[in-house]
Amino acid sequence: MGQTIPFACEDWANTKAAYRFLANDRVSEHDTLGGHFRANAQRAGSTEGPS
C-alpha cells in the first residue's frame, strides 16, 4: 500500500492487468468499494457504540 502500481504488482503482466482494470469504464469506484462499505456498516451496526 502506498507504492506505485508497477512496484505493488511486481511484474509486467500484473501491472498491465491493473492498468486495464482501472481504465475499464464498466468498473466504478462504487462497485469496487461496495463490499468494503457494506462489511464496515455491518460491523459498526453490530456494536453497542464506542468502547
Q: Do you know the residue count of the chain?
A: 51
Torsion angle (degrees, nearest 10) of CA 22, 25, 26, 31: 50
Segment 9-45, tens digit of pLDDT: 999 999 999 999 999 999 999 988 999 999 999 998 8
Beta carbons of 5 and 15 less than 8 angstroms apart:
yes
Domain span holding position 14: 5-45
Whether pLDDT at 8 is above 90: yes
Q: How far is the C-alpha of 1 from the C-alpha of 13, rounded, in Å? A: 19
Reported confidence tier of residue 51, pLDDT bands at 50, 70, 90 = low
Reported confidence tier of residue 47, pLDDT bands at 50, 70, 90 = confident
Number of domain units in the chain: 1
Q: Please give the pLDDT value at position 19.
A: 96
